[in-house]
Amino acid sequence: MANVFLVGAGPGDPGMLTLRAKEIIETCDIMIYDYLANADFLKWCKPECEILYVGKKGGDHTLPQDKINELIVEKAKSGKTICRLKGGDPYVFGRGGEEGEELVEAGIDFEVVPGITAGVAAPAYAGIPVTHRDFTTSVCFITGHEDPTKGESGNNWAVYGQSNSTLVFYMGVGNLPMIAKNLMDNGRAADTPVALVRWGTRCNQESFVSTLENVAEEAKARNFKAPSIIIVGGVCSLHDKLAWFEKKPMLGKGVVVTRAREQASGLVDILRGHGACVHEFPTISVDHLDDYNEVETAILQLARYQWVVFTSVNGVKFFWEQLNTIGLDSRIFGGMQIAAIGPATADELRARGIMPDFVPEKYVAEHVVEGLLKLGVQGQDVLIPRARVAREVLPEELKKAGCNVTVLPVYETRLVQQSGDEIVAALDNGDIQYITFTSSSTVENFFELVPAYTLRKYPDVKLASIGPVTSKTLSGFGFTASIEPEDYTIPGLVGALVDDLG
């Protein structure tokens, strides 16, 4: 079995990584990666994995290629599993071939995991199919990185100039004037469509379509830089018609997610699906309690209660964890009535075989009390499993209505101790347009990490709150939530952000 893998990381969108590549990233002992490979993938490495960066950014070489080759060979001799991760495909302008040769010479076995190359993916995300029967019968992948002062070009411009092939140039932005001129000098019409796609497949993708005659000037005017793919040919005229990705409502918008990492994935996925550049900045973490004796006692005496009210997904998860720990399951609820404060909490219950008897229309405590009273909760015993620290409105209102309420902490939320420097730097860069708050504690903890006076320096950044209670907490810090959904849920919040972009 080979222990070295030359792996393609795809063009940047994490979804464009192959299953095989993910498997190798997750199991390798040593990771040697480049600049363009999306650094997000590194979170899948084992904690003990040795991670080495050998990337190049522009002309700034961290390690020259011969040293990279030596490093791979040296590390490979240890017998450990090595993932040599490269942007796009390792054998398309990635010098993977040279690394392979080095390994063969050193007698080391290796495997190749092809990746989706930027020359196919970036055009596809910009609405440009690299082949189309109406326009071309072939496609060429060409390096645009040639020294213009070098007398002779390695590229056969006469062939490219005269064919109707779609031409895809890598590393060509700096040489765009030379490329366009060579093609026109060799017979390509001056009005041939040309497209440039920068940071293809990522949330910060940008593109434009021009003609051979004008493209160099336009790229300069737009300050278009690497990494970009240049596409030449009639297929570029399909850009407007087929531009599915660039139509996403939140493309390029920077959104901060302050939810606990354990709970954030739903929100993060919907935002990314809409094209947003998500900055994960968890301000709270959801943790076990130190002691579950009280929970165990409550579970063993559950028959005392007529109602159990779950106020969060975590409440359900942590309650069931304890239930299962003591060898019990959903049957313990018997004929008891069960309420869920929101649709996500209700889904969590359904996943455990419980159809909630009550889910309010509006997901704030005040409405829950009203609805429960209609169902005759007065005078009954109500158990509320929830976070250790939470709003007291629900238990208090139920008590006022004559219920016997027991609040049962099953988990706790803590302030995540991290620095706010990265977010402040992103704010300074103008990379952030929205900050989302999904509970009062995300607001309070956010301002522990990024002081209110710092945030005040960025009046254009909009604050989005999940509902009136969270908005009120924001007001307490002197900020107004300019976005608040009618429906106090995560999908509601994202919908309100999309509406705001109009």
18 touches 86 (CB < 8 A): no
Residue 191 Cβ vs ligand SAH, minimum distance, rounded to whole Å: 24
Among 7, 25, 36, 256, binds ligand SAH (CB under 6 A): 36
Residue 50 Cβ vs ligand SAH, minimum distance, rounded to whole Å: 23
Nearest to 193 by CA among 215, 179, 167, 211: 211
Site size toward ligand SAH (CB under 6 A) is 24
* 389-397 LR contacts (CB < 8 Å, sep 24+): 389/413, 389/441, 390/311, 391/365, 391/440, 391/469, 393/365, 393/366, 393/369, 394/309, 394/311, 394/365, 394/368, 394/369, 397/365, 397/366, 397/369
Instruction: Examine residue 117 and tell whether it contacts ligand SAH (CB under 6 A).
Output: yes
SS3 90: coil
Among 170, 320, 333, 434, binds ligand SAH (CB under 6 A): 170
405 touches 372 (CB < 8 A): no
Instruction: Examine residue 118 and tell whether it contacts ligand SAH (CB under 6 A).
Output: yes
Instruction: Examine residue 395 and tell whether it contacts ligand SAH (CB under 6 A).
Output: no
SS3 286: strand
Instruction: Examine residue 245 and tell whether it contacts ligand SAH (CB under 6 A).
Output: no
Instruction: Examine residue 258 and tell whether it contacts ligand SAH (CB under 6 A).
Output: no
199 touches 87 (CB < 8 A): no
169 touches 144 (CB < 8 A): yes
Residue 66 Cβ vs ligand SAH, minimum distance, rounded to whole Å: 18
Among 55, 72, 88, 463, binds ligand SAH (CB under 6 A): 88
Whether 181 sits among the annotated catalytic residues: the reply is no
- For ligand SAH, the closer of residues 228 and 322 by Cβ is 228
Structure-derived torsion over alpha carbons of residues 150, 155, 161, 165, reported in degrees to the nearest 10:
-150
Q: Number of helices (H) and strands (E), helices first, in the chain?
A: 19, 21
Which residue has 């924001």 as its token pair?
Answer: 474
Which residue has 């003990």 as its token pair?
Answer: 48
Residue 203 Cβ vs ligand SAH, minimum distance, rounded to whole Å: 11
Exactly one of 29, 171, 181, 431 is catalytic; name it: 171
Residue 280 Cβ vs ligand SAH, minimum distance, rounded to whole Å: 21
Instruction: Examine residue 140 and tell whether it contacts ligand SAH (CB under 6 A).
Output: no
Whether 56 sits among the annotated catalytic residues: the reply is yes
Instruction: Examine residue 239 and tell whether it contacts ligand SAH (CB under 6 A).
Output: no
Stretch that binds ligand SAH, among 81-89, 99-107, 216-224, 467-475 (CB under 6 A): 81-89
Whether 250 sits among the annotated catalytic residues: the reply is no
Degrees (nearest 5) of the Cα angle 169, 170, 173?
85
Instruction: Examine residue 427 and tell whether it contacts ligand SAH (CB under 6 A).
Output: no
Nearest to 202 by CA among 428, 16, 35: 16
- For ligand SAH, the closer of residues 124 and 403 by Cβ is 124
DSSP 8-state class, residue 40: G
Backbone angles phi and psi of 193, in degrees to 5:
-65, 140
Instruction: Examine residue 126 and tell whether it contacts ligand SAH (CB under 6 A).
Output: no
Among 2, 39, 171, 393, binds ligand SAH (CB under 6 A): 171
Residue 93 Cβ vs ligand SAH, minimum distance, rounded to whole Å: 4
Instruction: Examine residue 226 and tell whether it contacts ligand SAH (CB under 6 A).
Output: yes
- For ligand SAH, the closer of residues 13 and 397 by Cβ is 13
Round to whole Å and give the CA distance between 142 and 178.
14
- For ligand SAH, the closer of residues 100 and 385 by Cβ is 100
Residue 105 Cβ vs ligand SAH, minimum distance, rounded to whole Å: 22
Exactly one of 34, 75, 89, 250 is catalytic; name it: 34
Instruction: Examine residue 207 and tell whether it contacts ligand SAH (CB under 6 A).
Output: no
Instruction: Examine residue 465 and tell whether it contacts ligand SAH (CB under 6 A).
Output: no
Round to whole Å and give the CA distance between 35 and 41.
12
The DSSP annotation for 418-475 comes to --SHHHHHHHHTT--SEEEE-SHHHHHHHHHHS-HHHHTT-TTSEEEESSHHHHHHHH
Round to whole Å and give the CA distance between 190 and 355.
67
Among 114, 227, 254, 342, binds ligand SAH (CB under 6 A): 227
Interface residues toward ligand SAH, by CB under 6 A: 11-12, 36, 86-89, 92-94, 117-118, 122, 170-171, 197-201, 226-229
